[in-house]
Amino acid sequence: MLTYHFKTGGEPLYVQLYDAIKGDILSGVLMPGEALPGKRPFAKHLGISVSTVENAYGQLMAEGYITSMPRRGFYVAEVKTLPKVPETVPVQKTPDPVLESLHTALRGRRWFADFQSNQTDPASFPFTLWAKLTREVLSDEQDQLMTNPPAGGTLTLRTAIADHLRDFRGLVVAPEQIIVGAGTEYLYTLLIQLLGFDRIYAVESPGYRKILQVYEAHRLKTAKIPLDHQGLRPDRLEASGASIVHITPSHHFPTGITMPIARRYEMLSWANQAPDRLIIEDDYDSEFRMTGRPLPPLAAIDMTGRVIYMNTFTKSLASTVRVSYMVLPPALTAAFYRKLRFYACTVSTFEQAVLARFIAEGHYEKHLNRMRQAYRRRRDVLLGAIGQSPMAGCAAISEENAGLHFVLTLKIKKRDEAVVQDAAKRGIRVAPLEAGDAHRFLINYSSIPERVIPEAVRRLSEAVLGREG
Amino acid sequence: MLTYHFKTGGEPLYVQLYDAIKGDILSGVLMPGEALPGKRPFAKHLGISVSTVENAYGQLMAEGYITSMPRRGFYVAEVKTLPKVPETVPVQKTPDPVLESLHTALRGRRWFADFQSNQTDPASFPFTLWAKLTREVLSDEQDQLMTNPPAGGTLTLRTAIADHLRDFRGLVVAPEQIIVGAGTEYLYTLLIQLLGFDRIYAVESPGYRKILQVYEAHRLKTAKIPLDHQGLRPDRLEASGASIVHITPSHHFPTGITMPIARRYEMLSWANQAPDRLIIEDDYDSEFRMTGRPLPPLAAIDMTGRVIYMNTFTKSLASTVRVSYMVLPPALTAAFYRKLRFYACTVSTFEQAVLARFIAEGHYEKHLNRMRQAYRRRRDVLLGAIGQSPMAGCAAISEENAGLHFVLTLKIKKRDEAVVQDAAKRGIRVAPLEAGDAHRFLINYSSIPERVIPEAVRRLSEAVLGREG
């Protein structure tokens, strides 16, 4: 009979027995079809308990190394081309060159000042309050935290958002119309599934590049619609054959244009000229309009259910807090729940609960006011620094009153690419608005702490004015 | 000249002026093309400051109600078909019938015991520890929390997961190969974008329904492949023309079959017979195998980069903590970063940081051990209760050794639908495994606290044995 020796103090006996038999099968000592000893005599022979043998056989059976035949016992299974000891051979023991290069790329570069980033600086996030609310939620709401919310998010968070929209955007919607998801890009992937793969999706050109990337990743037909000084051109939209259009009326990215009311009605008029037309209104940083009152969103003047409203907390709270939402018109809300309710909500209940309290208790409003002030001050410091810098003579600023960025137009000969490279050498990340040396640069200041601004502008000015090459 | 009166103690003056002029435009008192008073004389006339008029005019311009002509002043704009006071008209003031019915549906039903749910009961989540780790993270890692991670997640969490996979699944991978996302369903939507829309995606039949739903929501061609007692049938897979297959080898849902090693090699052999074939290995509750050692995943014996490994914390931690991950083979990792790196990671850095600590400090391992014990005890209590219930005589249990569910086969005449309804009347949610009165029911016990089990089984037994109709 097969004989194995066991070590004391190591693996459990059944594992040692399992390993030994498997080793004999893999090495060919035990051949396919060969009978194994009966459990009882084997146990007696080895001086171990019957259940130890049973456990080892059970594991070998589950893995397919042996089979049992009723009333006849156990046999080595037919296993085709079994390589040696598969489970201990590591995949990728030596670094893969592709992964190596990714490794470096993923670790990213740290900039002295990044005028492209949408990040918020750590000093502006209410960490202490967030910790307090988290502690409260984890102690008060354990049952709710463990309950799967509907696909659109918890009713608590959706109610808080609905109240906020009513009070601050004049938008009266039912919590059920609000779909919460892990970022605007994710909501776009849901919308595509809801609206269909065979339509033409129109985007602003220039515009927020990620929207186009999401559409392209889904192999959709897209149309890039040019702008005039009021925003997206309805005539070009009409000509494009698109039935869905994405616009940023409260603050166009990157030019900063605010769409006037007349153009808003033209957009609604376009939407109402065919039964399948829809407008996706991205209201992504309406909270940070610097002067005047915010404009009413299209969704608030849409009487026929043609506008999908989108907004996000990634701009107003932190780019790393992945919570965005969309407001669907009633008919689309029903379609969403019919077609897509099987999706679990992508935001953890923990984060939904904390954010709901943050909004409902009035902290969000206070945070927005504080941030608006801080950003206004930061913008003023930045504009002041540019005005006093050596590049002042060739620099013009536009669209500085809305959102967290503006456009810096430079009267220079130096190629844009050379400016970008010289800035990068100095730890400054900046990007031109468009290709072709138009010398227009996007200046996003949400991630730049105030104290860093003077030095950042000094370096940028050097990069702008320094000789090319 | 236009004359308006202002209230003290109300809205700011410029808002009152803005409202007054807008009202006159909307009501037709001021007609398109009509000139407005110059800022200075108007201010003097009204007894207010010039900047108040400037602010009101600025807001009206931004909204498109008025325009300015250089050196000539301000004019009422041409606004087509302007409805009255648009921003204060609420959408959906009266409840929409569609939304009303959703309202009820979304609030859900509370069950006495839900044998369909994948939820975990609140008593098993480590709330106190989670609160402690959250507090630590919010105080120690503020900079990292505000830094946008790469598309695949923070390196800290991915490293913690890679270490866990190496120690507990014998799977050695680089952190860069791990893509973290808000739930397995979301990762599927990424995979579809990565792998393409023109392929045939095969799924197990029966199988985890949501995978098929995700594919169908993307209008993909799918193939449902039947199983034999070892799992998915390779011959039928070959015949289907599919190039991608989703399997659950460590624990098939819902039958509980563990794919033996020989079949695993057959699967890998299938994948290697054409250059575009891939296996998606969903290892979703391998952590809760009740007896024996867990089987090595396919990904650990795949030498040619044909297996995408998936797993989730929604099963092992809480269904409402939306963190899952997939491990891509090196070539696909590179393709992912080339095509889809523009996507922001869908899990908040806050949650990634807490989970990374939870794993790295050994709490996850302890939690799994504790849960495994608790689930084993719960399963035993449940099996005991069924064995002593009046339905014992007509009940058989299968596949009870893996995962958090088993199959209850009933020798009864009563239609499955009638059992489901009678159970629902008693607050018990249960579902048949398949259509056609096979009398096989899925019993998922992850959400049922131990103390509830005896009463839940009593009610289920009543529903099973009670007369139909």
pLDDT, one tens digit per residue, over B140-152 is 999 889 988 999 9
Other CB atoms closer than 10 Å to residue A109's CB: what's the count?
Answer: 10
Q: Which residues of B touch A76 (CB under 8 A)?
A: none
The secondary structure of chain A in percent helix, strand, coil, rounded to multiples of 5, reads 45, 15, 40
The label of the residue with tokens 């918890």 reads A154
Joined together, the tokens standing for residue B276 give 């575009």
- Work out the average pLDDT over A241-257: 90
Output DSSP code: residue B196.
-
Lowest mean pLDDT among A211-220, A262-271, A443-452: A443-452
Give the residue among A393, A427, A398 at the shortest CA–CA distance from A412: A393
pLDDT in tens, A163-214: 999 888 889 999 999 999 999 999 999 999 999 999 999 999 989 889 999 9
Pairwise CB contact (< 8 Å): A321 & B120:
no
Asked whether the beta carbons of residue B182 and residue A350 sit closer than 8 angstroms, the reply is: no
Distance from CA of B213 to the nearest CA of A (A): 8
Asked if B142's CB is within 8 angstroms of A217's CB, the reply is: no
- Per-chain mean pLDDT for chain A: 87
Separation between Cα atoms, residue A280 and residue B33, nearest integer Å: 32
CA A427 – CA A452 distance, rounded (Å) = 12
Nearby residues of A372 by Cβ (< 8 Å), 6 or more positions away: A287, A288, A290
Determine the pLDDT at residue A86: 34
Closest CB to A296: pick one of B86, B96, B127: B86
For residue B177, give the chain A residue with the closest CA: A99
Contact (Cβ atoms closer than 8 angstroms) between residue A208 and residue A253: yes
pLDDT the model gives residue B276: 93
- The total of other beta-carbon atoms located within 10 Å of residue A314's CB is 24
Task: List, for residues B400-429, the tens digit of each pLDDT value.
Answer: 666 688 889 999 999 999 999 999 999 899
| Domain(s) of CATH 3.40.640.10: residues in chain B | 141-361
**Residue carrying structure tokens 């984890």:** A138
Number of CB atoms found within 10 A of residue A437's CB: 15
Chain B residues touching residue A150 (CB < 8 angstroms): 106, 108
User: Which residues in chain B are contacts of A197 at CB distance < 8 A?
Assistant: 197, 218-219
pLDDT in tens, A79-138: 553 433 333 333 343 445 556 556 555 555 678 889 988 888 888 899 999 999 999 999
Q: What is the pLDDT of residue A140?
A: 92
Among A284-293, A348-357, A440-449, the range scoring the smallest mean pLDDT is A284-293
* Pair type for strands A324-327 and A307-312: antiparallel
CATH 3.90.1150.10 boundaries in chain B: 110-122+367-465
**Contact between A225 and A263 (Cβ < 8 Å):** no
Which stretches in chain B have pLDDT values below 70?
A: 27-28, 79-109, 290-294, 400-403, 469
φ, ψ dihedrals at A441, nearest 5°: -120, 140
pLDDT at B376: 87
Lowest mean pLDDT of A249-263, A358-372, B22-36, B186-200, name the range. B22-36
Q: Chain A residue with minimal CA distance to B92? A: A173
Residue owning tokens 């009333």: A71
Q: Is the pLDDT of residue A453 over 70?
A: yes
**List of residues 6+ apart from B114 with CB closer than 8 A:** B428, B429, B447, B448
In this predicted structure, what is the pLDDT of residue B24? 81
d(CA A355, CA A156): 10
Residue A87's pLDDT is what?
36
Among residues B125, B120, B156, B122, the alpha carbon closest in space to that of B354 is found at B156
Angstrom distance (rounded) from CA B431 to CA A307: 39
DSSP-based three-state secondary structure for B339? helix
Structure tokens at B393: 């005589």
CA distances from A337 to A151, A245, A258, A342, B353 (A): 8, 23, 33, 8, 32
The residue assigned the tokens 């709330």 is B127
Q: What is the DSSP letter of B123?
A: G
Check residue A437 and give its pLDDT. Answer: 87
CA of B18 vs chain A CAs: smallest distance (Å): 10
For A115, other C-beta atoms within 10 Å of its C-beta total 23
| Residues of chain A positioned with their CB less than 8 A from the CB of B152 | 106
- pLDDT value of position A290: 66
Cβ burial, residue A338 (10 Å; 0-12/13-18/19+): exposed
DSSP class of residue B331 equals: H
Find the CB nearest A347 among B107, B217, B322: B322
Given a cut of 90, is residue A232 above it in pLDDT? yes
Q: How far is CA B372 from the centre of its chain?
A: 24
- Spatial distance between the Cα atoms of A143 and A156, rounded to a whole number of angstroms: 14
CB B61 within 8 A of CB B67: yes
Contacts of A352 (CB under 8 A, 6+ apart): A149, A153, A154, A156, A157, A180, A323, A345
The pLDDT value recorded for residue A98 is 57
**Alpha-carbon distance B406 to nearest alpha carbon in chain A (angstroms):** 16
Domain A110-122+367-465 has CATH 3.90.1150.10: yes
Residue of chain B with shortest Cα separation from A315 = B146
| Pairwise CB contact (< 8 Å): B80 & A342 | no
pLDDT for res B291: 66
Range A141-361 classified under CATH 3.40.640.10? yes
- For an interface test with A, which of B159, B209, B229, B348 has the most A Cβ atoms less than 10 Å from its Cβ? B348
What was the pLDDT predicted at A234? Answer: 96
Q: Which CATH architecture has domain B13-76?
A: Orthogonal Bundle (1.10)
- Give the C-alpha separation, B181 to B346, whole Å: 5
